[in-house]
Structure 1
Amino acid sequence: MEELSNEISKLLFSTFTDGFPFLNKDEIIRIWSLDFQWFNPDDSMLLFSHLLDNKWIIKSNNYFSYNPGLILIQPPLSWNPNLNDILNISEFNKPSGIKVIPLENEEIITSESTHLGKDDVNYNNEKMIKLLNYVSKKSELSKREVIRRSERKKMALGPISLWMAVCLLAREQGLDMNKIIDIIDNN
């Protein structure tokens, strides 16, 4: 039972990132079926319904989040959830010793989509500007394209920083990583 509970903890860790702790149903289905490509849309819907019915996912207004009594576990690289295993798990039982206190008058801040826009990330940070300019110049990609690819990489990989996504893009483009590290480390 604990192993199955850990599977769900890993699934929900990947789904609900720090920036988006509350998502609507369509966003969750899209993340599982299109972003991560773990399941087809029908299986994603079935899994969502199962987790909601068994209180692993909770509803607040029209948005959903993981059960606050659940301790999320970061999955290892290349981890994939097993649909059949997760569908066999029963109702969520909070671990002993954990007291869940419901929040009153909680305010949910949502965005129109999970796509990062200019207002969501500080592109005016001096180091970030320097890094984007360097990657753009050396890779011969436009600055806009560097940002777009980095945001896409961030969405695909889940809970990583934009800095890391830009660094991964730079590595993918074959750029000198020592120079990238110097840009990040120097003031």
Structure 2
Amino acid sequence: MSAEIEDIKRVLTICFRMGGKQTADDLERILSFDMGWMDTETAHDAIKALIFAGWIKDEDGFLSPNCEIKGIRAPLGWQPRPSRLTDPLVNENHHPEQPPEPIKAQPVILPETEISESDPRARIEKRLTKFISKQAGIDSEEIIRRAERKMKALRYCTMWLALCLISREQDLEMNSIIDSFAA
């Protein structure tokens, strides 16, 4: 078995280790977030390419491997080359009955959570922003701008976490941050 085919089968083994069918979104999450091998756009392209090359079967939006993956093992620390997934070899054992349907990426729309002024979290976020601003010597508006960028980049990130990440970037002591909540 060539190294390219071995890489593809190892990826499929990891993605379908639970034995059931997965959605394209599930596979994107596994490749990008769980395993950290690539970004979500590259993962999306890799899944489309693996379906087109015959490595993955698409049955009404549910994906499954189109080859034998039992007994395939991935060594500790192994990572696939993304190019082997985005431009895979054709699965010689696959004969498509019909052309595969393209996977449509569905954007995730997160609801904007409005925190009212009476909410204690809003007061603590403001206090934390002022604390970081004072300690780091950066304007409060800049701290908020950076936190909002982190929230957009990380998607599932709260303002509190984004502010804590900014404080770490500024080499602020986390114990001081924790103490600022109690003050």
Q: TM-score range by the shorter chain?
A: 0.3 to 0.5
> For the pair shown, which has the larger CA radius of gyration, 1 or 2?
2
Scaled by the length of structure 1, what TM-score is found? 0.46
Q: Of the two structures, which has the highest relative contact order with CA contacts closer than 8 Å and spacing of 6 or more?
A: 1
Scaled by the length of structure 2, what TM-score is found? 0.47
